[in-house]
Amino acid sequence: MTQIPTPAPYLDRFESLAYGLFVHWGLYSQVGQGEWYKKWHNVPMESYRELVKDFTAEAFNAQALAQFAKRCGMKYICLTTRHHDGFSLYDTRGLNTYDAPHSPAGRDLISEFVVACRSEGIVPFFYHTTLDWSRDTETCDDAAFAKYIDYLVASVEILCTQYGEIGGLWFDGNWSRPGADWQEDRLYRMIRTHQPEAIIVNNSSINALGAKGHPMLDVITYEQGRPEPMDRSGMSKYVAAEMCQTMNLHWGIGSRDFMYKSPAEVITDLAACRRVGANYLLNIGPTAGGRIPPYEQACLERAGDWVKLMESALYDTRPVACGCEGRDFILRHKETGKLYYFAHDLPITNNDHKTKEAGSHEGPRRITGLDVPSSARWLDTGEEMDITPEGDGFQLDCKGYPYGSNLVVRVAEIQ
Ligand code: GLC
């Protein structure tokens, strides 16, 4: 029989974090046309660097950011310490002066970030680019590229040694120079010597969802794609999964991007991630000054109200192999052993003449491959549900929402 590896304790803890806030913020935020503004508008580096002069970080309040994530039910924040433009929010300590402390902000924003996260019980993660437009990493020759890797490793070493224990490092950009010698071994070994339990991620990119990269990586990524059920049989080490997604179609603020997600989509996507045991890392792009934009704030807080209702089902739970109808699924709590049934497409009862809800239906739903439980109740109302044994499983009578509510995804606790 093929072996299925079990997660190392630090990976298990990562999976229990379940829901995190991604934050893309940097020089590009001042323009408000996305984080790829420099590249897609062909802005020469010299003019782009002029943006440093106005980088004041006047509205960046790390404490408020950490409190916001907590209110939304998120357990970790991954902040862009350096994005593709090469500008660092941390003090590069002599590597260069293209960083926040040498800008009008005059502060090490990463230092503020880690302190605030810890005080709110939020785990800090660092996004760090590997490609760098300020160093021409896409086009430079191999010798220059090797020098750049020295610089990259020295940069990341600062992050691993100057800010205490961190949750992990989230790399992004190896896809920009395929086949190049990124010296991943060297980078990851350096991280391990300073941060033995940090999660190491390297975004496989939107074009290679779920691809497994270097053996030292801890997580496979699904950038803006639905995570698939994971088959870990035969893997030498357990790897976790994470889907990252942004609120509209840009990661850095796009002032004219109106293509926003709704709280219902956030809830559905969070559920889709948990269904396969993946984490959901949802991005916001703060304003030039560093403030959380009002729509993102309202939307994530609204979704956070749902998270609070379903909290016992979300964090320390893992997928259960069984058969469910449609998008429904079941998770098991690691400690209590309780099962949680996630029901989709329920209507509002007594709603015939009010609003139409295409595709929704109430009534019994089949679950196969599980013993018949003794009781089931909706988490939101506490109302008991009828259970009828059937075949190698049972039926759960899924009533619609009481008039006045619609939770998008409704969760029942089964014992
Ligand atoms: C992509 C983009 C980048 C963004 C990242 C987030 O790789 O290049 O701008 O930071 O996705 O996942």
- Would you say 329 and 319 are in contact if contact means Cβ atoms under 8 Å apart? yes
- Residue 394 confidence (pLDDT) above 90: yes
Atom of ligand 1 at shortest distance to CA of 283?
6
Task: Evaluate: CB of 61 within 6 angstroms of ligand 1.
Answer: no
Question: Which single residue is written with the structure tokens 């959380």?
Answer: 292
**Residues contacting 198, CB < 8 A, separation 6+:** 160, 165, 166, 167, 168, 169, 191, 192
Hunting for tokens 């950011």 — which residue is that?
65
pLDDT of 320 reads 96
SS (H, E, C) 171-226: EECHHHCCCCCCCHHHHHHHHHHHCCCCEEEECCCCCCCCCCCCCCCCEEECCCCC
Q: φ and ψ at 79, to 5 degrees?
A: -110, 140
> CA 3, 4, 5, 6 torsion: positive or negative?
negative
Position 211 scores a pLDDT of: 78
CA–centroid distance, 84 to ligand 1, in Å, is: 9
In the numeric block, which tokens belong to residue 88? 């660092």
Q: Give the percent of the chain with pLDDT over 70.
A: 99
Helix axes 263-275, 294-314, angle to 10 degrees: 40
* Distance between CA atoms of residues 354 and 222, nearest Å: 38
Q: Using CA atoms, how far apart are residues 366 and 355, in angstroms rounded to an integer?
A: 27
How much is the pLDDT for 358?
A: 79
Model pTM score: 0.97
Residue extent(s) of CATH 2.60.40.1180 domains in the chain: 319-414
Share of residues in the chain with pLDDT > 90 (%):
89
Q: Which CATH architecture has domain 9-314?
A: Alpha-Beta Barrel (3.20)
**Which of 251, 282, 283, 284 to mutate for ligand 1's pocket (most ligand atoms within 8 Å of CB)?**
251
Question: How large is the average pLDDT for residues 221-241?
Answer: 85
What band does 355 get if pLDDT is binned at 50, 70 and 90?
low
> From the CA of 172, how far away is ligand 1's center (Å)?
7
What angle is formed at CA 396 by the lines to CA 393 and CA 402, rounded to 5 degrees?
Answer: 170
Residues 6+ apart with CB under 8 A from 13: none
Q: Give dist(CA 168, CA 292) in Å, integer.
A: 23
Q: Which amino acid is at 238?
A: Y
CA distance readout (Å), 297 to 23, 65, 229, 273, 284 = 12, 10, 31, 21, 9
Decide if pLDDT at 1 tops 90.
no
Name which residue leads in pLDDT, 212 or 218: 218
Instruction: Give the whole-angstrom CA distance, residue 373 versus residue 16.
Output: 25
Rounded Cα distance between 79 and 270, Å, is: 20
The reply to whether ligand 1 has any atom less than 6 angstroms from the CB of 85 is no
Cite the residue boundaries of each domain of the chain with CATH code 3.20.20.80: 9-314
Identity (one letter) of the amino acid at 224? Q
Instruction: Give the count of beta carbons closer than 10 Å to the beta carbon of residue 236.
Output: 8
* The predicted structure's pLDDT at residue 171: 98
- The token pair at 189 is 């070994």
Residues 6+ apart with CB under 8 A from 36: 28, 84, 252
> Band of the pLDDT at 21, cuts 50, 70, 90?
very high
What average pLDDT does this structure show over 65-89? 98
What's the pLDDT at 354? Answer: 64
Residue 296 beta carbon below 6 angstroms from any ligand 1 atom: no
User: What are the tens digits of pLDDT across the range 147-170?
Assistant: 999 999 999 999 999 999 999 999
Which phi and psi angles does 150 have, rounded to 5°?
-55, -45
**Is 44 a residue whose pLDDT tops 70?**
yes
Task: Give yes or no for residue 408 having a pLDDT over 90.
Answer: yes
* Torsion, Cα of 170, 171, 175, 177 (10° steps): 180
Mean pLDDT (the chain, rounded): 95
Q: Could you confirm whether domain 319-414 is CATH 2.60.40.1180?
A: yes
Q: For ligand 1, is residue 37 a contact (CB within 6 Å)?
A: no
Q: Tell me which of 87-101, 120-134, 247-261, 351-365 is least confident.
A: 351-365
Q: Where are the beta strands (DSSP E) in 291-335?
A: 317-319, 323-324, 329-333
β-pairing, 393-398 vs 329-333, is unpaired
